[in-house]
């Protein structure tokens, strides 16, 4: 069984964190990000997130 799209994308030692058939997602653990932070790969639709763009929640069962 093969996948319809790869789960990663690697070109010239540049890797994108998450790739679907339609877009790629790159997550940077920085306060702010700019478009130049996305690896130079031939993906048309790109989503670039910083650590402030993500919300982290404590697990429900934490003491």
- Provide mean pLDDT across the span 3-18: 61
| C-alpha dist (Å) from residue 36 to 5, 6, 21, 63 | 25, 23, 22, 41
pLDDT: is 21 or 59 the higher one? 21
Which pLDDT score, from 0 to 100, does residue 1 have?
Answer: 47
Judged against a pLDDT cut of 70, whether residue 2 lies above it is answered with no
Decide: pTM greater than 0.85. Answer: no
pLDDT in tens, 51-61: 888 776 667 66
- Give the range with max mean pLDDT: 6-10, 32-36, 55-59: 32-36
């Amino acid at each position: 069984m093969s996948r319809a799209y790869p789960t990663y994308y690697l070109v010239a030692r540049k890797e994108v964190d998450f790739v679907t058939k339609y877009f790629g997602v790159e997550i940077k653990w920085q306060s702010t990000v700019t478009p130049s932070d996305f690896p130079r790969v031939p993906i048309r639709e790109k989503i670039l997130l910083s650590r402030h763009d993500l919300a982290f929640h404590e697990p429900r069962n934490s003491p």
